Amino acid sequence: MKTQNFSHMMFLLMVVVSVTPARAADELQTQEFSEKIPAFAVVKPGEMTTVLAINHGMVSNLPFQIGDRVKMGDVLISVIERETTRGYRTTIVGQVAKLHVTPGAALTPGMPLVTVINPEKKQIEISLSPKESQRLKVGAPIYFRGQGEQFGELGKISPLVDPDTGAVVSYAQPRRPVTQLIGDIIPIDIEVRHLKDCLVIPLSEVDQHIEQYRVEATSGNSACLIPKTSSR
């Protein structure tokens, strides 16, 4: 009787061992996969102007302070030039963002005097390496980092590389009004490829399937695997 029970247990064990790989294979279902580049977006003013000195002179009066609201045509600074006083006016509605000079300062042509921004108009600036920027396309979806909610689309990619930072600047088009303040940083993900028929698994499990599959793309903590026999 004991021998029969032992034989029966061994048979069940063999059945379990034999069906386990089959069940694991059934779980390897393909699905769509979005390859994304992590980045940081900075909220910047979409409208800004800086008044520049056009002659030699001396600062006479600065009627507004940083943060003050100004209307189009308001005199931002009065400058004494020889025997006259010139008033420099703002060409946009907004608020004073920076005073580049102080009362009594001597001026030369081209010196920045006062900067005004419109805080109601914002643009989203993204800086990436030249290699990353080459993979981007205008219209690429942009998502809040780690969320499924779409933030907007990629609207413009600069053709130039910043000589100081080595970065390429891109601009996003938000889907809704930006509630963040100017200067705020937003963690985002930019989609560079949308793939189909991927075996999507955690990066930590890639080694378990490397004999039959190869890594086509990664994003976050996930990887897209495709069969090594695929011509993709």
Nearest alpha-carbon partner for 211 in 223, 198, 229, 232: 229
Report how far residue 184's alpha carbon sits from residue 174's, in angstroms, rounded to the nearest whole number: 15
Report how far residue 54's alpha carbon sits from residue 46's, in angstroms, rounded to the nearest whole number: 25
pLDDT digits (tens, 9 = 90+) for 118-130: 988 889 999 999 9
- One-letter amino acid at 170 equals S
Report how far residue 127's alpha carbon sits from residue 193's, in angstroms, rounded to the nearest whole number: 19
Domains and CATH numbers, the chain: 30-46+121-232 (2.40.30.170), 48-117 (2.40.50.100)
pTM of the model: 0.66
Contact assessment for residue 88 and residue 77, using Cβ atoms and an 8 Å cutoff: yes
Mean model confidence pLDDT for the chain: 86
Q: What pLDDT does residue 164 have?
A: 84
Q: What pLDDT does residue 2 have?
A: 45
Q: What pLDDT does residue 148 have?
A: 77
Backbone angles phi, psi at 95, to 5 degrees: -140, 155
Q: Which residues of the chain have pLDDT under 70?
A: 1-28, 231-232
Q: What pLDDT does residue 25 have?
A: 37
